[in-house]
Amino acid sequence: TWIKHPEAPAALPASPVAPSALTLSELKELSAMGHVRGLLERLERIDQEEPASQAFTAQLRQLAKGFHLHELNRRLNEVDHE
C-alpha cells in the first residue's frame, strides 16, 4: 500500500502593497464623496503608475464595484494606521 503524505499547506499570500500616501489620500477623498466612477478610474491609473499595488487595487476595485464604500473606507483607514 502507498502512504500518502499530506501536502504542505500553501503559503499565506503576502499583504498587498499599498500605493503611496498621496494616492491613498486621493482614494479616501473620492470614497468619502461616494464617487464610484472616480474611484474606479483612479484605481486603473494606480495599476499603471504603481504596478506593485495591483493586488491592493484589485481588492478595492471589487468593493467599489459592489458599492461597499463603508468597507472600502475601513480598508483605506486601516492601511493609513499601519
**What is the per-residue pLDDT across 4-52, written as a single tens digit (0 to 9) for each?**
655 544 444 457 899 999 999 999 999 999 999 999 999 999 999 999 9
Question: What pTM, to 2 d.p., does this model score?
Answer: 0.77
Cell of 16: 498587498
More confident residue, 46 or 3: 46
Contact in structure between 42 and 25 (CB atoms under 8 Å)? no
Query: What integer pLDDT is reported at residue 40 of this predicted model?
Result: 97
Cell of residue 27, nine digits? 482614494
Q: Is the dihedral of CA 58, 63, 67, 72 positive or negative?
A: negative
